[in-house]
Chains A and B, each alone.
Chain A
Amino acid sequence: MAVVSPREAVELLNKAFYTPGEVAALASVSSSTILNYIHDGRLAAVKLSERTYRIPRKAVVRLLGLEAPSIVVTQRPDAAIDL
């Protein structure tokens, strides 16, 4: 079986959203584990209906440990802000 690098794995995730079942398969866990992550707030997801969730691509990338959080914060304390 070919070895896939983390970068290649990230590039294979080319959809904006994934179902809990798809994420479970990617993470080799059960769908109920993924739903528990969502309910615990450990995994970002949007609820479309009572039993339908969609998980954003970046959350999947983070769950799989393929990419660390990379938030760019700019602090400009002296900037003039118009209220």
Chain B
Amino acid sequence: MSSDGVPLAEGQLRRRRDRLGDFLDAWGDLTIDDAGESAGRRRLEFVLHAPGHDLADEIVVRYREYYRRTRVGDWLLAKYAYEYLDIARKRRLAFHMHPISSRPLMPHAHCEDADGLADDEGRHHLRAVELDLREAHETFMRLYASEAGPDCDSYLPLVVNRAIDD
């Protein structure tokens, strides 16, 4: 998947949803919400509570991907929000890609104190590369398994308006 604009056919998107569901289910209690297909603006949401079962939540992860239907009926990624909440440490790490200022799709991160999963933008935009959901998940699970909170100081601030052609 890429912001370069490679659309997915209906069956490809459904297979992506189901394969990601099977992949993520190995990590905790998973719910999937597939919304907006008829309206042409679709959101796939995966919410994972770990370790799962009857054990108290230690982390909650939420992955949201937004798609816009193209004229030929395929689905084009419009933006994403991948969120990791470390409940014990009350820390949030998020990888987003959406428009910022005049930039159409800008991958970035958020890293901060938090009491819960955020629906809004954090206080600071931080530099990050574009990630697929599985890449974000690997980063989040490495943090979780290493029993370490996110190192927010390791992220540089995002400078949105810097000229990119010079």
Contacts and interface: CB of A to CB of B under 8 A. Distances in A.
A16 interface: yes
Interface of B: 17, 21-23, 25-39, 41-43, 50-55, 58, 66, 68, 78-79, 138, 141-142, 144-146
A11 B53 CA distance: 9
A83 interface: yes
B50 A78 contact: no
A79 B39 contact: yes
Main secondary structure of the interface of A (DSSP, over half): mixed
Contacts of B39: 77-81
23 contacts: A11-B54, A15-B51, A16-B51, A16-B144, A48-B142, A56-B28, A56-B50, A56-B145, A57-B55, A58-B50, A58-B52, A59-B26, A71-B32, A72-B31, A72-B32, A73-B31, A73-B34, A77-B38, A79-B35, A80-B39, A81-B35, A82-B41, A83-B41
A74 interface: yes
Interface of A: 10-11, 14-17, 43-44, 46-48, 54, 56-59, 61-62, 69-83
Main secondary structure of the interface of B (DSSP, over half): mixed
Contact of A75 (B28, B34, B68, B141): B34
Nearest to B36: A81
A72 B45 CA distance: 12
Contacts of A74: 31-35
Contacts of B54: 11
Contacts of B27: 44, 56, 58-59
A77 B43 CA distance: 10
